[in-house]
Amino acid sequence: MWQRVKQQISPRTAAVWILRILVVYAVLRMTAHRPPYIIVGSPQKVETQHPITCVHTRLTDEVEEWKIQRTLQMVREMGATTIVEFFPWPYIEPEQGVYNWDHSDMIVRHARAQGLTIIARLGMVPKWALPVDQEIQQDRSLTYLEPHRYYDFGKFVGAFAAHYKDDINHIIIWNEPNLSYEWGYQPVLPQNYVSVLQFAYPAAHKANPNVVILAGALAPTLEPVGSLYGMNELDYLKEFYHWGAKKYFDALAVHTYGFKFPPNEPPAPDLLDFRRVELLHQVMIDSGDGDKPVYITESGWNDHPRWTKAVRPGQRIAYTLDAFNYAEANWPWLKNLCVWAFRYPAPTHSFPDYFTLVSPDFTPKPVYNEIQRWARGWPQELSR
């Protein structure tokens, strides 16, 4: 009988049915492990013994809402109190004066449900605010902010602060302005960034008097003054104060990576290591601004097997935990230590994947588990 049935089914019909079965299987695979959306009426409470714990999430390009929820749920479960998240200007104001808050509202709603504090990083430039010259557009990238657009960016910062007045009280203005790439390949001039703050700071505080404006998010680099690639962040910060920045920010954001060095490696001007932030804080003290807090908004170690600046997986775990302990014990001026990065929406298939704590499919890495044990006060299983 089966032979007669096979003879009656044409190859085309069989192919159609096989394709249908494969489609159904794929759909079932994609939805089988989707957790339901749970937006609680009252925020969850982060259980932690170390409120300094923070992670930089990457939800900007995450499309599916359940993935946003699951990411932030895992952040809370790890014991982190705070996230840094990027809210690009082009995504929210795609046309001048026309705001689209849908995606950012989704992130904020889920962060609030998990009881997390948000440090919002604002930056990039929408198409309508880029130079009209197409050749300049192509050469300069989406970080090219012309001086006559500083007002427009400040206006956006004010709109953002007003829209999230009840949810976000920490805003970083731009990202790594001491790097040419992040400054649209323009000359890296601290006075121009100070001018941006002069527009953004009053606009934000008018919209939300309680907002904390974080300046800098300075990148660690040894590039000298006059380099085409950037400027040493120590020299940048000194010039930053020289141009009158003190009145236009409430806290300093810095990036400090360990690379191949342990977290207790003493800082030096010609060395990129974790404690380099101490040199930046000394510049603040020397500028009469030592009372302002510091936020490390990017930090961590990488355990890629072939990247020249990486360490072994066990070292990465030990260095990360030692860094948290060192910061708590020695830096009373530090508010948060934020690890880069919690999770990427998709793999990069390169060394950046080895900065993450959780894989794109939500599998926690050993470093996640060890940070969780530390933050929540559970017994450590790592042999150190």
Read off the pLDDT of residues 324-345 as tens digits, 9 standing for 90 and up.
999 999 999 999 999 999 999 9
- Are the C-beta atoms of 52 and 328 separated by less than 8 Å? yes
- Are the C-beta atoms of 263 and 300 separated by less than 8 Å? no
Confidence of residue 380 (pLDDT cuts 50, 70, 90): confident
Query: In angstroms, how far apart are the furthest CA atoms of the chain?
Result: 92
Confidence of residue 13 (pLDDT cuts 50, 70, 90): low
- Are the C-beta atoms of 310 and 354 separated by less than 8 Å? yes
Q: Under DSSP, is residue 337 helix (H, G, I), strand (E, B) or coil?
A: strand
Nearest to 55 by CA among 382, 367, 269, 377: 367
Structural domain spans, the chain: 1-32, 43-376
Confidence of residue 17 (pLDDT cuts 50, 70, 90): low
> For the chain, how many residues are written?
384
Class of domain 43-376 as given by CATH: alpha beta
Read off the pLDDT of residues 83-93 as tens digits, 9 standing for 90 and up.
999 999 999 99
Give the dihedral of Cα atoms 280, 310, 263, 252; nearest 10 deg. 30
- 186 contacts: CB under 8 Å, gap ≥ 6: 140, 144, 180, 192
Q: Can you tell me the distance from the alpha carbon of 364 to that of 74, in angstroms, rounded to the nearest whole number?
A: 9
In degrees and rounded to multiples of 5, residue 145 shows phi and psi of -110, 110
Read off the pLDDT of residues 334-376 as tens digits, 9 standing for 90 and up.
999 999 999 999 999 999 999 999 999 999 999 999 999 999 9
Q: Under DSSP, is residue 121 helix (H, G, I), strand (E, B) or coil?
A: strand
SS3 content of the chain, % helix, strand, coil (to 5): 45, 15, 40
Q: Can you tell me the distance from the alpha carbon of 33 to that of 186, in angstroms, rounded to the nearest whole number?
A: 46
